[in-house]
């Protein structure tokens, strides 16, 4: 009997060792030994293997009982500590004092070694009372149990903490499994404490296997699904058992009562038929019970679609849209990560690129943007095939092999399983990328069909969001441009104020200078006239010539000073008109007669027509003389020798040219050098002269003779004071072809002051 039991535990030990060895090999093959977690798992399995083999060494007589026990204890201590450390890693638990566990572990082991091997020579009996006794052995056991309990409570605490935290469902799912592993391992340890070593070892297998699987597999199947299946099985079993028992209990008495010869086979058949008939309703009942105890979270496509379209249709911010859309999809099909990319086409000579701009998904970092070659296989698929694409297809299918390495590695680094393109009309505008399901299951066709509908829903929202985005951009551009314009406007206003100040200073200067010049000029003119009348000087031809020269200079200066005075009074709006009825014909005649000599000298013909027929008008004769003086003298100055000047008078009927009472129009046309269109208006501003000043000749009526640039400004000031209009017309400026100019002066019949 003893021999049999030894053989049985030996078989268990060897089988356990094999199991640990296989687990260790698979774990190393799948994940390697690069990370601490993987190395710690390997150590965990190696110690598990040693622990499993310990009973064998004992039965083979290699280890004495005294030595076996402390080694077994040490193994359990190490397994507990490693399990604690693994728990911290698996549950992603961040401890504030990570070193504490090492200190406690060291203290625990040290205490056990000191007391267990009696290094400080304790007495075997430590305390003794009448009813109880504490031996060194009891103390060792107490240290062992207390330490073990502390670590296990620590792990349980971690699990409680994690279950309360709002963490990713994948970690929560892992925590469920981990608590199961904890329960199994704790149970196996308890079997050790109650000296059922072999059974403890057997129970440890599934615990350690489960722990290894959790560490090696990134996604564990959804535990709730398994829980539901187990529960469903149990409920179904119980219900069937109840029906069967009830049948077996009730059917025989009924048979006995109604039939004389009781046939058990028939009774059994009746129960079986009864049970078969009830199987369907029982199954439904079982499902209902399970649903009540563990409500299923499987998704209802119609509900998801409804909620999805309601939630995203009003979102206009692409970032928010991405978060909500991906969040809803993730929640519906229970995935751990997802992204929404906005796709923009960037044309280029070589066929262009699609730029994928990632919008933040579920709490993940925003991925870097990526360029996909428009004529590359991946972009071509999305553009043309209009179907979802799995990451595995990109990696395995030959048609995607020619894709650029950067494109492939960018997609692989996203860590997603499936891509769902989004289109508006014929354009590829977005991409939903979804990570693995929490359940570890692949994407089924149903999921992809639902995703395709969700992608269509997203298209509309995405298009709106993009529209709003570009509108916002436009708005920002507009705002910037508006701000720049405002600044320019302010600057312009400043410059305007400066210019107005400058103009005022100029006008002040003209006014002061002309007044100051007039008096000495008048004195000079007086003395000059006296000298010219002096017979002593008159007799001397040379002196007379000199004096005449001085006289004409003084007269020219006078003219300029008068012009300056005129413009000053126009500028300061102090021009006072002495209005009386005048004949334009007479007035112009007087002006022309002053140019008789000049016209002859320059071989210019001046013809007037229609002036006689003009009606008398109200006006200041002296002022209007100046108007025609300046216009005619300009016609003389800017017409080459031998040219023609025509003065035409036209009557303006009442109501025409904005003149209610009518008026007169005088046109002075010449065959001169003409005026460029851009100057037609500018020449009426004071000091404005076209052409180069240095090229002007000096004579008053010489071709292109000099002038201060005031004539037309004075003419306009006076005409406008009469409520009339003056303007110039010319085909252009050309000194060779001489296209000529026309000056129009329109004066009203009546001047209303």
Residues lying near ligand ADP in the complex (CB under 6 A) are found at 630, 634-635, 638, 670, 672-673, 675, 683, 688-691, 707-713, 741
Closest to ligand ADP by CB, 362 vs 604, is 604
Closest to ligand ADP by CB, 252 vs 691, is 691
Which helix (DSSP H) or strand (DSSP E) does residue 746 occupy? strand 742-748
- Per-residue tokens: 377: 């296989």
Length of the chain equals 753
Q: Which residue is nearest to ligand ADP (CB)?
A: 707
Minimal distance in Å, beta carbon 355 to ligand ADP?
Answer: 60
Minimal distance in Å, beta carbon 702 to ligand ADP?
Answer: 12
DSSP code at position 399 = G
Closest to ligand ADP by CB, 24 vs 713, is 713
E strand map for 95-249:
125-128, 133-135
Residue in 641, 630, 558, 634 with CA at minimum distance from that of residue 588: 630
Closest to ligand ADP by CB, 462 vs 683, is 683
Distances (CA, A) of 297 to 48, 225, 337, 450, 457: 38, 9, 18, 16, 23
Distances (CA, A) of 202 to 47, 80, 205: 15, 17, 6
Closest to ligand ADP by CB, 447 vs 571, is 571
Minimal distance in Å, beta carbon 680 to ligand ADP?
Answer: 9
CA atoms of 151 and 84, how far apart (whole Å): 7
Closest to ligand ADP by CB, 651 vs 690, is 690
Q: Torsion angle of alpha carbons 173, 175, 178, 179, nearest 10°? A: -110
DSSP code at position 697 = B
Minimal distance in Å, beta carbon 742 to ligand ADP?
Answer: 9
Minimal distance in Å, beta carbon 567 to ligand ADP?
Answer: 10
Closest to ligand ADP by CB, 611 vs 683, is 683
Minimal distance in Å, beta carbon 633 to ligand ADP?
Answer: 7
Closest to ligand ADP by CB, 40 vs 667, is 667
CA atoms of 75 and 47, how far apart (whole Å): 6
Minimal distance in Å, beta carbon 689 to ligand ADP?
Answer: 4
Minimal distance in Å, beta carbon 607 to ligand ADP?
Answer: 16
Closest to ligand ADP by CB, 170 vs 669, is 669
CA atoms of 174 and 438, how far apart (whole Å): 10
Minimal distance in Å, beta carbon 698 to ligand ADP?
Answer: 12
Minimal distance in Å, beta carbon 517 to ligand ADP?
Answer: 17
Sign of CA dihedral 389, 390, 391, 397: negative
Closest to ligand ADP by CB, 564 vs 683, is 683
- Classify 129 in phi/psi space as left (phi over 0), alpha (psi -120 to 50) or beta: beta
Let me know: does 377 contact 400? Beta carbons within 8 Å. Answer: yes
CA atoms of 229 and 206, how far apart (whole Å): 20
CA atoms of 131 and 280, how far apart (whole Å): 64
Minimal distance in Å, beta carbon 626 to ligand ADP?
Answer: 11
DSSP code at position 61 = T
* DSSP strand pairing (605-609 vs 644-652): parallel
Phi then psi for residue 519, to 5 deg, are -60, -55
CA atoms of 537 and 527, how far apart (whole Å): 13
Through-space distance between the first and last CA atoms of the chain, rounded to whole angstroms: 145
Closest to ligand ADP by CB, 55 vs 717, is 717
Q: Where are the alpha helices (DSSP H) in 572-672?
A: 584-593, 596-601, 621-637
């Amino acid at each position: 009997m003893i021999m049999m039991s030894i053989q049985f535990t030996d078989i268990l030990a060897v089988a356990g060792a094999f199991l640990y060895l296989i687990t260790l090999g698979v774990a190393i093959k799948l994940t390697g030994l690069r990370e601490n977690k993987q190395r710690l798992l390997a150590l965990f399995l190696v110690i598990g293997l040693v622990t499993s083999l310990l009973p064998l060494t004992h039965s083979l007589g290699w280890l004495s009982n005294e030595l076996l026990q402390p080694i077994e204890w040490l193994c359990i201590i190490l397994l507990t500590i490693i399990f604690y450390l693994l728990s911290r890693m698996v549950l992603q638990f961040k401890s504030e004092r990570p070193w504490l566990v090492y200190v406690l572990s060291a203290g625990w082991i040290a205490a056990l070694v000191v007391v267990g091997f009696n290094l400080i020579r304790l007495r075997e009996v430590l305390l003794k009372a009448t009813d109880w006794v504490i031996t060194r052995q009891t103390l060792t056991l107490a240290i062992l149990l207390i330490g073990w309990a502390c670590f296990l409570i620590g792990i349980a605490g971690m699990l409680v903490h994690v279950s309360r935290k709002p963490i990713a469902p994948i970690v929560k799912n892992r925590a469920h499994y981990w608590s199961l592993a904890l329960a199994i391992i704790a149970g196996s340890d308890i079997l050790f404490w109650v000296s059922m070593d072999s059974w403890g070892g057997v129970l440890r297998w599934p615990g350690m296997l489960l722990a290894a699987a959790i560490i090696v597999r990134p996604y564990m199947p959804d535990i709730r699904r398994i829980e539901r299946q187990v529960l469903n099985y149990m409920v179904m079993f119980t219900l069937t058992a109840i029906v069967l028992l009830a049948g077996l209990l009730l059917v025989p008495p009924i048979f006995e009562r109604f039939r004389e010869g009781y046939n058990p086979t028939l009774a059994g058949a009746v129960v079986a038929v009864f049970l078969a008939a009830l199987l369907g309703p029982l199954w439904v009942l079982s499902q209902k019970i399970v649903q009540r105890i563990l409500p299923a979270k499987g998704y209802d496509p119609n509900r998801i679609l409804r909620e999805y379209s309601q939630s995203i249709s009003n979102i206009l911010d692409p970032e928010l849209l991405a978060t909500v859309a991906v969040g809803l999809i993730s929640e519906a099909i229970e995935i751990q990560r997802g992204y929404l990319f906005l796709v923009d086409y960037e044309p280029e000579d070589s066929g262009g690129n699609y730029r994928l701009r990632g919008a933040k998904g579920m709490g993940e970092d925003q991925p870097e943007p990526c360029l996909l070659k428009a004529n590359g296989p991946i972009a071509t698929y999305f553009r043309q095939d209009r179907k979802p694409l799995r990451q595995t297809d990109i990696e395995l299918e030959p048609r995607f092999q020619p894709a650029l390495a950067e494109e492939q590695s960018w997609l692989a680094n996203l860590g997603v399983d499936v891509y769902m393109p989004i289109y508006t009309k014929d354009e590829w505008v977005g991409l939903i990328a979804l990570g693995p399901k929490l359940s570890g299951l692949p994407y089924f066709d149903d999921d992809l069909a639902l995703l395709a509908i969700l992608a269509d829903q997203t298209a509309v929202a995405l298009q709106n969001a993009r529209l709003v985005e570009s509108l916002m951009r436009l708005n920002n551009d507009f705002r910037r441009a508006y701000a720049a314009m405002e600044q320019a406007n302010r600057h312009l206003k400043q410059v305007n104020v400066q210019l107005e100040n400058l103009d005022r200073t100029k006008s002040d200067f003209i006014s002061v200078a002309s007044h100051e010049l007039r008096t000495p000029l008048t004195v000079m003119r007086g003395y000059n006239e006296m000298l010219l009348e002096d017979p002593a000087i008159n007799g001397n031809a040379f002196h007379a010539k000199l004096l005449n020269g001085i006289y004409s200079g003084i007269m020219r200066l006078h003219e300029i000073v008068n012009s300056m005075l005129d413009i000053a009074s126009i500028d300061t709006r102090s021009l006072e008109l002495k209005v009386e009825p005048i004949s334009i014909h007479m007035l112009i005649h007087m002006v022309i007669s002053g140019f008789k000599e000049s016209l002859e000298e320059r071989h210019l013909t001046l013809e007037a027509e229609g002036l006689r027929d003009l009606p008398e008008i109200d006006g200041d004769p002296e002022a209007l003389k100046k108007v025609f003086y300046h216009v005619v003298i300009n016609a003389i100055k800017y017409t080459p020798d031998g040219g023609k000047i025509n003065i035409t008078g036209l009557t303006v009927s009442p109501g025409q040219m904005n003149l209610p009472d009518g008026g007169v129009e005088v046109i002075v046309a010449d065959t001169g050098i003409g005026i460029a269109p851009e100057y037609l208006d500018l020449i009426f501003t004071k000091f404005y002269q076209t052409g180069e000043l240095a090229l002007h000749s000096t004579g008053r009526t010489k071709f292109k003779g000099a002038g201060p640039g005031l004539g037309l400004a004075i003419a306009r000031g006076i005409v406008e004071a009469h409520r009339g209009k003056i303007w110039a017309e010319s085909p252009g400026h050309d000194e060779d072809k001489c296209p000529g100019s026309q000056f129009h002066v329109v004066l009203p019949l009546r001047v209303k002051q």
